[in-house]
Homo-oligomer: A and B are copies of this chain.
């Protein structure tokens, strides 16, 4: 078995209202110095050793990310 991580983040040019809500809330808990927050998704996936990077990329494109507004990274862990 191998462990794969897929990170899905909003594209840089896309507004991220969830991240902006976090920035606004920071004042309430007294944390200063945070310039920006972007919120995305992290998938931790257990796959058999035969599963290829191409298959995981297909899965990310079709199921995990909306590639119109999101970018993704596929990371095979040791």
Residues of A near any B CB (own CB < 8 A)? 1, 7-9, 19, 22, 25-26, 29, 31-48, 50-51, 55, 58-59, 62-64
Contacts of A9 in B (CB 8 A): 42, 44
Copies in the complex: 2
Contact B47 A43 (CB under 8 A): no
Q: Which residues of B contact A64 (CB under 8 A)?
A: 22
Which interface residue of A48, A50, A62, A63 has the most chain B CB atoms within 10 A? A63
B62 touches A34 (CB 8 A): no
A17 CB → nearest B CB, Å: 14
Asked if A63 meets B26 with Cβ closer than 8 Å, knowing A39-B41, A42-B9, A44-B9, the reply is: yes
